[in-house]
Structure 1
């Protein structure tokens, strides 16, 4: 799978020759420096971008052959940043996640309201239901946006930097929750130590290509960490049985992150 921008000699590959499978019901972390292709890959998986080469398959079906509404009923996606000027209540924003399941302009059903309420409860934003969206903090908006995606009741949940703006408590709560839900979760993450502890599958990207994919132990190896991030690393099993990653910059040259979308 490839994705380019521009045309002719000015075309630039955003991701190139990416082949990756995401375990059904698992929690996959997309990791890599800024500009490595994480956001682009998520948009390809969501059907928001069409690949310039290759195919994106959902349960064996090519996304290009599916209707947008059918994709939206099975795949939910959140972006890194969410517009804050909307004059809607939090409940109204979360109910947007139910639109793929509703007919025309029909009022929300009891099931819609229940799905929205359960999603807000899971993300701890139920008390904000009547608050106006534009008055929320960055962290509150992030949690409400994830609740909107969760209210879709998707088979696959695609999240671009879901821990942005969250304090450490909400960050840990969110990752623990994502590791438990039955949906297939794919999230772009910057915190390598948290990815190691909470994800059961990782895909490491660099310059638009997959460097490694597999378990944290298979991906977060010292050679991979030095090659991609320019850091020394140690991965061990913590007292709770989860992987623990230690990183150290000492004695290594600087590695540029790259530019463009992550």
Structure 2
């Protein structure tokens, strides 16, 4: 067992944002969290990461309540790459990535830490940005550097909130290739259903704060479920590997 949400609930202003979700995250694979805007995806990811405390239920890491574990122990295992990161940090890119080494060594700047940080930069395709100042980066560059910082942490669980945001299609594919290959349990919020179908081993589909479907892409992404959750009709075919490929029907076709 790796991460397990047990009847997790979180509300804001009396409205349930995450409403009684129970699910075990498949260890060692790439799990995608899907759902329309406002379905609770980012909040659920923050609960899994321990950035928010559940108001009901619990998040378990290897069977232990995440909120009761020592923060340093959690940080050595679990890394998070947020959707948006402040642009006001006056650090170089290398300094930002070295922050991922703090749970392992507070000194950060030893030879081993530098080597691991530079390796993470190379894996994310941003080694040439090492000496750039953080505020000078584009949104896509910041996104990849943030993921490099998370990889430098060398987590066993890696949680990402819309990591393909700000990236062009080539960098989206390169990033998802990387996430699918790393030896960790990866949970990522995604908007693109076809990318999720192509890369993820397992999907969680949220709607209005509830988990409405879970399983491999071919079981979760059906024409009926997509229409019920997203309000759009699709035609779904299967690739030679059995993964679904979605074609969204134009409005004229939906009302014909």
TM-score normalized by the length of structure 1: 0.90
Q: Deviations 1:96-147 (Å, cap 9, x if unpaired)? A: 11111124xx252222112111110100000110111111111111100000
Where does residue 158 of structure 1 map in the other structure? 159
Aligned to 1:15: 18
Aligned 8 A contact 1:94 1:147 in 2: yes
> Could you tell me whether the CA contact under 8 Å between 2:217 and 2:243 is conserved in 1?
no
| Residue aligning to 1:89 | 92
- Within 5 A, what are the aligned runs for 1:119-138? 119-138=120-139
Which residues of 2 match residues 187-202 of structure 1 at below 5 A? Answer: 187-202=188-203
Higher RCO structure, 1 or 2 (CA under 8 Å, sep 6+): 1
Q: Please give the alpha-carbon distance, in whole angstroms, between the structure 2 residues aligned to 1:124 and 1:182.
A: 18
For the residues of structure 1 that align with 2:203 and 2:71, how far apart are their CA atoms?
28
- RMSD over aligned Cα, in angstroms? 1.4
More strand by share: 2
SS of residue paired to 1:145 = helix
Unaligned runs of 5+ in 2: 1-7
Deviations 1:142-177 (A, max 9, x none): 100000011000011100000010011000100111
CA shift, 1:242, in A, is 4.0
Q: Is the 8 A contact 1:4 1:12 kept in 2?
A: yes
Residue of structure 1 in register with 2:212 after alignment: 211
Aligned residue number for residue 5 of structure 2: none
Map 1:1-262; keep pairs closer than 5 Å.
Answer: 1-6=8-13, 11-103=14-106, 106-239=107-240, 242-250=243-251, 252=254
Q: In structure 2, how many angstroms separate the alpha carbons of the residues matched to 1:107 and 1:138? A: 26
Structure 1 residue runs without a partner (length 5+)? 254-262
Quick one: distance in 2 between partners of 1:252 and 1:61?
Answer: 48
Structure 1 CA distance for aligned equivalents of residues 147 and 214 of structure 2: 25
Number of equivalent positions: 247
1:186-217, Cα deviation, whole Å (9 max, x unpaired): 00000011000010100000000001000001
Distance (whole Å) between structure 2 residues aligned to residue 205 and residue 217 of structure 1: 16
When structure 1 is superposed on structure 2, of 28-37 and 61-70 the one drifting more is 61-70
CA distance, structure 1, for counterparts of residue 153 and residue 247 of structure 2:
37
